[in-house]
A and B are shown apart, each in its own frame.
Chain A
């Protein structure tokens, strides 16, 4: 492991810790497992001498693999990607029909794994569809389809809730 690899990974972690965590929790549904997955992925990468040029999709894929690996071992699930412990900002005007974080999480949980993962990567991790396709190793059309289908399901759930 060269010192440049160490510095690169350290910088990447500092810049992307929130996105990596949200992504990992969306896969594991367990915060500790998500943190373990991130830690494990970085530990493995620190043993390497070289890193790929396009580090971001690669590192997210490593975290995904570690999270899936942890998912196979443990079955304790149920954590949300949202911070439900804190009340929404009192200054923010919340629409009466706006769902709570618990509801949003519940709806996200009702999506398929692929749909939820694509939505998290697109909305919270600022990945493009092309990058998601590269990360997941699927055609571009598949990722856009997962995303649109997931959002359509969410819209339906919101509409049913507001009836």
Chain B
């Protein structure tokens, strides 16, 4: 701390008057007596009431829904086999012509 700072710090300060203290005490006392319902507090109370009502409604709906829906049966494994029918079945079952063995040709000699 330098010299100027020290001088300032050590200087005796003027104090607020007792009249100010009295005024302030009266102001605090008057404010404590009146305590009007502020608009913002009322608004917050309304919002809190709406939120509480909403939560209660949701909980009621969920509880009712759980009671009315019957319990589901235990899951069982089901195997489905899909087979084509009609011409499609024939096409799938018959192997392609290229896969079949070639027809046998019989050649016989004739003198006639």
Residues of A bordering B, CB below 8 Å: 1-3, 6, 9-10, 13, 17-18, 20-22, 25, 31, 34-35, 38-39, 42-43, 46-47, 49, 79-84, 86, 88, 98-99, 101, 104, 119, 123-124, 151, 154-155, 158
Number of interchain pairs (Cβ within 8 Å): 96
A88→B12 contact, CB < 8 A = yes
Which residues in A have their C-beta under 8 angstroms from that of B17? 31, 35
Which residues in B have their C-beta under 8 angstroms from that of A22? 13-14
B70-104 CB mask vs A (1 if < 8 Å, else 0) is: 00000000000000000000000000000000000
A25→B4 contact, CB < 8 A = no
A104→B23 contact, CB < 8 A = no
A25-B14, A154-B4 given; 19 more Cβ-contact pairs under 8 Å:
A6-B31, A9-B28, A22-B13, A35-B16, A35-B17, A35-B19, A35-B23, A38-B16, A39-B20, A49-B41, A79-B14, A82-B11, A83-B15, A98-B7, A99-B7, A104-B11, A123-B5, A124-B8, A151-B4
- Given A38-B20, A123-B5, A151-B2; A101-B12 close (CB under 8 Å): yes
Most buried by B among A1, A47, A82: A1
Which residues in A have their C-beta under 8 angstroms from that of B20? 17, 21, 35, 38-39
Instruction: For the complex, give the distance between the alpha carbons of A18 and B12 in Å.
Output: 12
Checking B9, B13, B28 against A18 with a beta-carbon cut-off of 8 angstroms, the contacting residue is B13
Residue of B whose beta carbon sits closest to that of A150: B4
Interchain residue pairs with CB less than 8 A apart (12): A1-B31, A3-B32, A3-B35, A17-B20, A21-B15, A22-B14, A42-B27, A46-B28, A79-B14, A80-B14, A104-B11, A155-B3
Instruction: For the complex, give the distance between the alpha carbons of A33 and B19 in Å.
Output: 13
CB distance from A75 to the nearest CB of B (A): 20
CB distance from B39 to the nearest CB of A (A): 9
B32→A158 contact, CB < 8 A = no
Which residues in A have their C-beta under 8 angstroms from that of B32? 3, 6
- Given A35-B19, A80-B14; A10-B4 close (CB under 8 Å): no
A1→B38 contact, CB < 8 A = yes
Is B65's beta carbon under 8 Å from chain A?
Answer: no
Which residues in B have their C-beta under 8 angstroms from that of A9? 28
Is B21's beta carbon under 8 Å from chain A?
Answer: yes
Instruction: For the complex, give the distance between the alpha carbons of A74 and B96 in Å.
Output: 111
Residue of B whose beta carbon sits closest to that of A88: B12
Most buried by A among B14, B28, B32, B40: B14
